[in-house]
Amino acid sequence: MGIVNRWYEILELLLARDTLSSKELEDRLQLTPYTIKNNIDLLNNELTGIARIHERNKKYSIEIQDHTQLERIMYGTFKKESDFNSSSKRVAYILKELYTSNEYRVITDFAEELSVSRNTINNDLKAARKLLEDYDVSIASATGRGIKLVGSVLDKRLVYINLAQDYFNFEYIEEAAINEIYQILSNYNQNNRMINHVIKVVDALMASIQMNETFEEPIPFYSNAAADSQMLEELVYFIESHFKISLSQYEKDFVSYPFNLNNSGQYKKSFTEQYKYLFDIFDHMVESVKESFVIELNREFLYTKISNHLFHLINRSIFHVSPKEMFYGEVEKKYPFSFEVAKVAAKSIGSDINRKIDSIEVDYLTLYFEMVLRSLSSSMSLNVAIISDAGIGTTGIIQRQIDSVVGQGTQFTYFSENDYAEADLSEFFLIFTSIPFKNPPEAVPVIRISNILSDQWLSEEIKRVIITNPNLIHSTLYDVYTLDHTASYMENLSYLMEPLEQEDLINEEFKQRVKNREEKQLTVFDNGVAFPHEVNPGSDRILLNIGIFDQEYMIEKNDINIMLLLAVPENLTADNEQQLIDLYDLIFRLSRDQQFKEDISSISSKSDFIAYIKNRRLSL
């Protein structure tokens, strides 16, 4: 990672958190304390008069002195001012030059232009190819001819916009056009970040047109909700008249994509026949979830709540744009089962649209699945509490930030510092607070807001308090067995089912269902947990049988520590449905607990497991 990119990562982390410990920075950046300190010293020199990073008691925080100048820096000022001693800038230069040329480029020419060795350029090309892995683009080599950027028109433009443009001044759009676009979009209350993004898109468009590379068909799975807006009409009219070109509808849609990445509420959308593809993706997503987990989902309710969000998630994924990170692990910690469901959903969406879904998107999907799994009535929305004494203007900023990603249907309730202590906050899905929060609800993610007066940065301070109820284990756990690492997966699964069958707690139909599911696709998660589960015909009881491997066990490149066999009642009551969701949460909460993984070998019986849960009650 180049030093400039490292500076930006440090800034983004500090702007999102009130404080950040040295250990957190070391883990996130994979750097030594000495290297981090040197980087921050250099960064402070560059930030003189704009901001300053302070270190006290091995904790870092940032003091902002000039928000406007810092905003410009976050748009890429440091990248533009860096020289070619930076490997990141050399990589950006190579990608820019390859994008803006239809011809092969010789590696030696790059070495001369950047005043580095051919070997250095080869190393830069390796770094460039690594960046291109998520794009439908590659760097092709031809003996005696050189290298060339090949791929789809869309993804080549996105490589230029996302990976190269920030390091250089605009080359295909002059200052007068930039100013005019700024004026047009300002008249429609677009913020600086949005305007800057649109200008980058226009610059990439003009470069592509000069090379005669234009869209010949629609962008797959992308919809332009701003197509009929007056703002877009004015913007397109200016582009066509100023550059003396005529844009196809496909190009107009491309220019519009920055307006379709977040839920601004400016454009009216009805997710019915016009967006049939959206329901197809949703339907496949639900089926994928049901194939992985034995759960019932209210499809109509879920689609009503998630369709708007899904629309923007798909658009963000198509254009390789990440949503704002707000939760930093808090949603995963508090809603572990819904998080696992969201991971399956994200994988299904990505498969349908042929894009990798950003991990941050999983956090937002989790909220919707949690809402549905907790069986909230269809009249309810995500309930969010905001605790702040900063006034109506600031709380409005917070609301807009949340609305832009989660959706316009979110219900907000505001509390002052004086009155929140008397309120029952356990009913909320999320709590955002700008003040120190005493005694937060155990089951609700609490997001600490920092830099609250700037609408550019809104995030959180994590408070992890997870308390597990051991009575849940008492009522559902049958027993704990030791599994044989030399036996096959299916043999170990049969071993776990055998005592349940002997007690007539499961029947042959259940056994066959479980085996068929596992033969079709192993229910193994990336946290070392095998989780075979199925509906148990004729039963009204939730049954959990646990197997712990006597040694490390590998199957299909998965390292498995524990197998959790779950029998789900055929007819769930309201009580055992809630119990089932709580059990799912406990299972995935335990699987993420590093201490539990280290302690597994000491557990060999049901009483051991229950005692372990009781002893770990305050630290899970």
pLDDT-based confidence at 257, cuts 50/70/90?
A: very high
User: Could you tell me the CA-to-CA distances from 49 to 13, 66, 67 in Å, in that order?
Assistant: 20, 7, 11
Q: State mean pLDDT over 345-351.
A: 97
pLDDT-based confidence at 127, cuts 50/70/90?
A: very high
pLDDT-based confidence at 529, cuts 50/70/90?
A: confident
DSSP per-residue codes, 12-65: HHHHH-S-EEHHHHHHHHT--HHHHHHHHHHHHHHTTTTEEEEEETTEEEEEES
Q: State mean pLDDT over 75-84.
A: 78
E strand or H helix at 87: helix 87-99
Does position 464 have pLDDT exceeding 50, yes or no? no
**Could you confirm whether domain 471-615 is CATH 3.30.365.10?**
no
CA atoms of 153 and 148, how far apart (whole Å): 14
E strand or H helix at 139: strand 137-142
Q: For 49-126, where are the E strands, in sequence order? A: 51-56, 59-64
pLDDT-based confidence at 273, cuts 50/70/90?
A: low
Q: What is the pLDDT of residue 400?
A: 58
Q: What is the pLDDT of residues 355-367, one digit of tens each?
A: 999 999 999 999 8
E strand or H helix at 175: helix 175-186
Question: ∠ CA(74), CA(206), CA(262), 5° rounding?
Answer: 45
Stretch among 7-11, 414-418, 522-526 having the lowest mean pLDDT: 414-418
Task: Report the largest interatomic distance among the alpha carbons of the chain, rounded to a whole angstrom.
Answer: 82
Percent of the chain at pLDDT > 70 equals 85
Q: What is the pLDDT of residue 574?
A: 65
Q: State mean pLDDT over 128-157.
A: 94
Q: What is the pLDDT of residue 316?
A: 96
Q: What is the pLDDT of residue 526?
A: 61
pLDDT-based confidence at 232, cuts 50/70/90?
A: very high
pLDDT-based confidence at 381, cuts 50/70/90?
A: low
Q: List the structure tokens of 123.
A: 């190393």
Q: What is the pLDDT of residue 137?
A: 95
Q: What is the pLDDT of residue 616?
A: 62
Q: What is the pLDDT of residue 123?
A: 94
Cβ–Cβ contacts within 10 Å for residue 266, how many?
13
When mean pLDDT is compared over 33-37, 65-69, 271-275, the highest value belongs to 33-37
**Do residues 399 and 430 touch, judged by C-beta distance below 8 A?**
no
Q: What is the mean pLDDT of the chain?
A: 83
CA–chain centroid gap for 194, Å, is 20
Q: Quick one: fold of 273-373?
A: PTS-regulatory domain, PRD (1.10.1790)
More confident residue, 361 or 615: 361
Fold match between domain 3-71 and domain 87-167: yes
Does position 463 have pLDDT exceeding 70, yes or no? no
**CATH of 3-71 among 1.20.1250.20, 3.40.50.300, 3.30.1510.10, 1.10.10.10:** 1.10.10.10
The domain ranges of the chain are 3-71, 87-167, 175-260, 273-373, 383-448, 471-615
Q: What is the pLDDT of residue 163?
A: 94
Q: What is the pLDDT of residue 97?
A: 95
Does position 68 have pLDDT exceeding 50, yes or no? yes
Does position 543 have pLDDT exceeding 80, yes or no? yes
How crowded is the C-beta side of 268, counted as CA atoms within 13 Å?
2
pLDDT-based confidence at 408, cuts 50/70/90?
A: low
Q: What is the pLDDT of residue 216?
A: 92
Does position 246 have pLDDT exceeding 90, yes or no? yes
DSSP conformational letter for 413: E
Name the phi and psi angles at 148, rounded to 5: -150, 145
CA atoms of 450 and 434, how far apart (whole Å): 7
Q: State mean pLDDT over 241-265.
A: 93
**Do residues 381 and 410 touch, judged by C-beta distance below 8 A?**
yes
**Do residues 11 and 47 touch, judged by C-beta distance below 8 A?**
no
Q: What is the pLDDT of residue 2?
A: 65
Q: State mean pLDDT over 13-30.
A: 79
Cβ–Cβ contacts within 10 Å for residue 504, how many?
7
pLDDT-based confidence at 471, cuts 50/70/90?
A: low
User: Would you call 447 helix, strand, or coil by DSSP?
Assistant: strand
pLDDT-based confidence at 588, cuts 50/70/90?
A: confident
Q: What is the pLDDT of residue 466?
A: 30
Q: State mean pLDDT over 235-263.
A: 95
User: Could you tell me the CA-to-CA distances from 584 to 109, 275, 342 in Å, in that order?
Assistant: 58, 33, 14
Does position 619 have pLDDT exceeding 50, yes or no? no
Does position 457 have pLDDT exceeding 70, yes or no? no
Q: What is the pLDDT of residue 393?
A: 44
CA atoms of 421 and 440, how far apart (whole Å): 10
Does position 557 have pLDDT exceeding 80, yes or no? no
Does position 413 have pLDDT exceeding 50, yes or no? yes
**Do residues 467 and 617 touch, judged by C-beta distance below 8 A?**
yes
How crowded is the C-beta side of 80, counted as CA atoms within 13 Å?
11
Percent of the chain at pLDDT > 90 equals 42
Pairing of strands 529-530, 524-525: antiparallel
The CATH code of the domain at 87-167 is 1.10.10.10
Does position 338 have pLDDT exceeding 80, yes or no? yes
When mean pLDDT is compared over 12-26, 108-122, 406-420, the highest value belongs to 108-122
When mean pLDDT is compared over 274-278, 419-423, 439-443, the highest value belongs to 274-278
Q: What is the pLDDT of residues 149-184, one digit of tens each?
A: 999 999 999 999 999 999 999 999 999 999 999 999
Q: What is the pLDDT of residue 200?
A: 96
| Whole-number CA gyration radius for the chain | 27
Does position 553 have pLDDT exceeding 70, yes or no? yes
Q: What is the pLDDT of residue 458?
A: 35
Burial class (CB in 10 A: 0-12, 13-18, 19+), 515: middle
Helix and strand numbers, DSSP H then E, in the chain: 25, 15
pLDDT-based confidence at 147, cuts 50/70/90?
A: very high
Instruction: Tell me the angle at which helices 336-353 and 574-591 cross, rounded to the nearest 10 degrees.
Output: 80
User: Residue 63 contacts by C-beta under 8 Å, 6 or more apart in sequence?
Assistant: 51, 52, 53, 54
**Torsional class of 81: left (φ above 0), alpha (ψ -120 to 50), beta (otherwise):** alpha
Q: What is the pLDDT of residue 298?
A: 85
Burial class (CB in 10 A: 0-12, 13-18, 19+), 392: exposed
More confident residue, 357 or 291: 357
Q: Buried (b) or exposed (e) across 5-22, using 16+ Cβ within 10 A? A: bbbbebbebbbbbbbbee
Instruction: Tell me the angle at which helices 299-318 and 336-353 cross, rounded to the nearest 10 degrees.
Output: 60
